Amino acid sequence: MFADGGFELHLVGGPVRDAVLRRSVSDLDFTTDARPESTEAILRANCSTVWTTGADFGTIGGLFRGEQVEVTTFRADAYDRVSRNPIVRYGDNLVDDLERRDFTVNAMAVSVPGHEFTDPFGGLADIARQTIRTPASPESSFADDPLRMLRAARFAAQLGFGIDPETLDAMRRMAPELGRITAERIRDEFVKLLTAPDPVVGLRILVDTGLAEQFLPELPALRMEIDEHAQHKDVYEHSLQVLRNAIALEQDGPDLLLRLAALLHDIGKPETKDVVDGGGVTFHHHDVAGARLARRRMRDLKFPKADVQAVSLLISLHLRFYGYGDAGWTDSAVRRYVHDAGAQLDRLHLLVRSDCTTRNRRKAERLRRDYDAFEDRIARIRADEDLRAVRPDLDGNAIMELLGLEPGPQVGRAWAYLKELRLERGPMPRQEAESQLRAWAAAEGLAPSPDAE
């Protein structure tokens, strides 16, 4: 289609890299010497759907024979190097377009229909060496777009590649430049890294280069000093191992919320660390502190509200199970655990199991058996009760009728009392629930009116 119009067209970037690596290829990216208006005309004549959301940057997208394609005019942008915003300028040749791309492994092209392979910056050799390197100097590339430093860590995690020493050195020196990038773009790149096959590789790069300090300082803060007088587990290494444990337990692909909770579950420890007499160390209430810190950091990174709530809840609950095997729990305590976890119960199970990183096999096996028994107990109680939606035995209408109340805060107080009673005792016959409510109301000065019976 483009050749018939007298234009060049080249498959470029990620699809070429992934084809070389024998990885699956989905969306197809092309570059062309055609200007956007010509590209749009060609696609509209041949695609079932066309979108122009990227037209200001020279990109037109379409659905062609069931394949999603995006076609971008050759670019030769300049950058103000204060913000990330490019001054869009179209180029007139393929090599200049490839040079402005992030890494050599993404700066290869295959022409269509001729299938001529173009690799002016050694991307194929870098794939063979499993190396991440920039086409231009890393200083120039990262000054143009500092987010590329995060992308280098992300590609290392996705592809299992190392980063070229010169490129890595530039990342260390230029880490503060990340401050020019919006929180949303940083979040999106971080999510891609965290859901990669081995995010620990990328996370280590972020911490070692100082990039994590720019947007997630709680992570490098876990590298607390361990001295001979105040021994404690290396919290940073422990957290990375918990993340790996959680990934091993995933059933249906990457679970972002579980991975975030695993990575951040102990970020409250530096704040709560206390050295006690005799050289011991405590981290009292680090679960509460960690939930607060995670909530604040995720909000700063513009995560959706539901994700913030889910991760902070998981962190706040990740210690509650410990001691179950020794002290034993009442049925009401089990109900409350399930009720408080809510929709995150299954993730909480995985997080608690992942948090065991001890090398003591006997201790690890005991914790595993205890949690197996705990989950079995939840299942037995759930067989008799609906633990996912624990509700009082009387609803608001029944409370108002029984106590002769109008809608208002007093009804809410009565409902909350019955809910606590339900968690403590389990389901009750209606007559017993009514009797308990009357006794509570009398003690609270809310005795039913004479005509309420």
DSSP 150-207: HHHHHHHHHH--EE-HHHHHHHHHHGGGGGGS-HHHHHHHHHHHHTSS-HHHHHHHHH
Q: What pLDDT is attached to residue 360?
A: 81
| Model confidence at 426: pLDDT above 50 | yes
| Model confidence at 297: pLDDT above 70 | yes
Q: Dihedral through CA 375, CA 376, CA 381, CA 386, nearest 10?
A: 50
> Which H or E element spans position 10?
strand 9-12
Q: What pLDDT is attached to residue 449?
A: 45
Band (452; pLDDT cuts 50, 70, 90): very low
Band (399; pLDDT cuts 50, 70, 90): confident
Q: Which amino acid is at 405?
A: L
* CATH fold for the domain made of 130-215: Hydrophobic Seed Protein (1.10.110)
Backbone angles phi, psi at 60, to 5 degrees: -120, 135
Q: What pLDDT is attached to residue 115?
A: 95
Span 289-314, average pLDDT = 97
pLDDT tens-place string over residues 331-356: 888 888 888 898 999 999 999 999 98
Q: Cα(303)–Cα(186) distance, rounded to whole angstroms?
A: 11
In 342-406, which ranges are continuous DSSP H helix? 345-354, 361-384, 396-403
| Out of 15-24, 118-127, 145-154, 315-324, least confident range | 315-324
Span 46-60, average pLDDT = 92
Q: The domain 1-128 is classified under which CATH number: 3.30.2130.10, 3.30.460.10, 3.30.70.980, 3.40.640.10?
A: 3.30.460.10
Share of the chain above pLDDT 70, in %: 90
| Out of 56-70, 235-249, 356-370, 372-386, least confident range | 372-386
Rg of the Cα trace of the chain? 29
List the domain boundaries for the chain.
1-128, 130-215, 226-388, 391-452
Band (77; pLDDT cuts 50, 70, 90): low
pLDDT tens-place string over residues 221-279: 999 755 444 455 689 999 999 999 999 999 889 999 999 999 999 999 988 888 777 66
Span 348-374, average pLDDT = 88
Assess contact for 17 and 106: CB atoms under 8 A. yes
pLDDT tens-place string over residues 168-191: 999 999 999 999 999 999 999 999
pLDDT tens-place string over residues 113-164: 999 999 999 999 999 999 999 999 999 999 999 999 999 999 999 999 999 9
| Out of 93-97, 109-113, 378-382, least confident range | 378-382
Average pLDDT, the chain: 88
Backbone angles phi, psi at 440, to 5 degrees: -65, -45
Instruction: Give whole-number Cα distances, 106 to 16, 18, 324, 390, in Å.
Output: 8, 9, 52, 53
> Which H or E element spans position 420?
helix 409-425
CATH class of the domain at 226-388: mainly alpha
Does the model's pTM come out above 0.85? no
| Model confidence at 372: pLDDT above 80 | yes
Band (206; pLDDT cuts 50, 70, 90): very high
Band (366; pLDDT cuts 50, 70, 90): confident
Query: Of 100 and 26, which is predicted with more confidence?
Result: 100
DSSP one-letter string for 197-247: S-HHHHHHHHHHHTSHHHH-TTTGGG-----TTS----HHHHHHHHHHHHH
| Model confidence at 295: pLDDT above 90 | yes
| Out of 73-87, 166-180, 303-317, 398-412, least confident range | 73-87
SS3 per-residue string spanning 224-237: CCCCCCCCCCCHHH
